[in-house]
Amino acid sequence: MRYVIIGAGAVGGVIGGRLAGAGHEVVLVARGAHFEALRDRGLRLRVPEGELTHRPPVVDGPAALGELRPDDVLVLAVKTQDSTAALQTWGPVPVTGGGTAAERLPLICAQNGVESQRLALRVFRRVYGVCVWLPSTYVEPGVVSAAGSPLTGILHLGPVWHTPVVHPHDTDETARLIAADLEKSHFEAPVVADVARWQYAKLLSNLGNALEAVTGPVDSEEAAALFRRVRAEGAAVLDAAGIPYVSAEEQQAVRGDKVTLVPLDGAPRGGGSSWQSLTRGTGTIEADYLNGEIALLGRLHGVPTPLNDLLQRLANTFARERRAPGSMPVGELVRLADETAVQGSGEDEAGLFG
């Protein structure tokens, strides 16, 4: 199979680089300065064993490839806010032998949150979800880094569509073939029928992305306490919605010490995906699909989500105004959170007794 990595950033670049390094055929898709750097100098992949350079083909869209191949696997690794544009671009691309990518090819959603695969299912027939446990960084054009050792990451993988052929509680051969390729490329890739359980557990962890982006690393007790409040709010919403998610104990049992961060020369890990978006000054951030997913479910199920609302709003403001990541003191954010929680309580009481 050939892997077409749509969005060769932190996640897509590392997956594509590791696959290429293991001898698999890969095409990287990127834009702007990142596309130019990959085209001109190759993909520089910084990992515990050193800096590796891979030179797979690089394109900025499907036109450069012509017809896609029947054995192509499309890996969607853009941020969720960019998913619709990518799906509309790649879905109609013709495949050799007839039909389009949307009709014939598997699409792997290697992204945070849970919304992209729903967007994908509106266009593509064969969509697979991935729970991405992959600490990686992309802040410099042409360079991605992944500090995990001995494994680069763990990617739980499973189909998210139901047909008479693929029972909702089964997996399929395509997923197993993809998993086998990933497991030859420094990943563990369990094929699971309940990939959503893993994704919702990861969503709870990702609720701290906006906190980290706004105030910097969550390395003080004050910041950690605020994150626990934000996560508890998210868990309450998932429980009210009846959405199952993997427990912290089950995650630890599966992951153990398989992905341990080690220092990388010349590649400090400053923060997660949202922090990286602010660092690159992209003007957008994925908070609408992380904290915003909790806000959405809270409104649907009558659960207040003042802390996630606050983080969503602040993260979007920071991205829109291109503020530096970590530029709000954590004490100021805690004060805003406390005020927001009090106001939310007052509004609840007014609704009940007013």
For residue 283, how far is the Cα from the chain centroid? 18
The amino acid that residue 17 corresponds to is G
Angle between helices 330-353 and 306-320 (to 10 degrees): 130
Cα angle for residues 82, 87, 91 (degrees, 5° grid):
165
- Would you state the pLDDT for residue 2? 98
Q: What CA–CA distance (Å, rounded) separates 33 from 124?
A: 29
Is 12:110 a contact under the CB 8 Å cutoff?
yes
Is 158:128 a contact under the CB 8 Å cutoff?
yes
Q: In this structure, what token pair is assigned to residue 82?
A: 């960019």
* Alpha helical stretches, state H, the chain: 10-21, 32-41, 83-90, 101-104, 115-121, 173-183, 195-206, 208-215, 221-241, 248-255, 273-280, 291-301, 306-320, 330-353
Residue pLDDT, tens place only, 9-53: 999 999 999 999 999 999 999 999 999 999 999 999 999 999 999
Cis-peptide, bond into residue 150, ω within 30° of zero:
yes
- Would you state the pLDDT for residue 328? 96
Q: Is the pTM of this model over 0.75?
A: yes
Q: What CA–CA distance (Å, rounded) separates 253 from 247?
A: 10
Give yes or no for residue 163 having a pLDDT over 70.
Answer: no
Q: What CA–CA distance (Å, rounded) separates 204 from 150?
A: 25
- Would you state the pLDDT for residue 344? 62
Cα–Cα distances in Å, from 248 out to 196, 219, 240, 269, 344?
Answer: 15, 19, 19, 24, 29
97-99-105-109 Cα dihedral, nearest 10 degrees: 150
Mean pLDDT of 114-138: 96
Residue closest to 347 by CA, chosen among 339, 333, 187: 339
Instruction: List strands edge to edge, sheet with 106-109.
Output: 58-59, 25-29, 2-6, 72-76, 106-109, 126-133, 153-159, 187-188
- Would you state the pLDDT for residue 281? 93
Residue pLDDT, tens place only, 259-291: 999 988 766 667 899 999 999 999 999 999 999
Q: In this structure, what token pair is assigned to residue 155?
A: 């990617």
Residue 272 region by backbone torsions, left for phi larger than 0, else alpha for psi between -120 and 50, else beta: beta
The count of residues in the chain is: 354
Residue pLDDT, tens place only, 180-207: 999 999 999 999 999 999 999 999 999 9
The amino acid that residue 290 corresponds to is L
Positive or negative, the CA dihedral 209, 210, 216, 220 is negative
The tokens 């153990």 sit on which residue? 256
Helix H or strand E segment including 154: strand 153-159
Is 192:158 a contact under the CB 8 Å cutoff?
yes
Three-state DSSP class for residue 215: helix
The tokens 């009481």 sit on which residue? 349
Q: What CA–CA distance (Å, rounded) separates 160 from 44?
A: 33
Mean pLDDT of 148-171: 76
Give yes or no for residue 104 having a pLDDT over 60.
Answer: yes
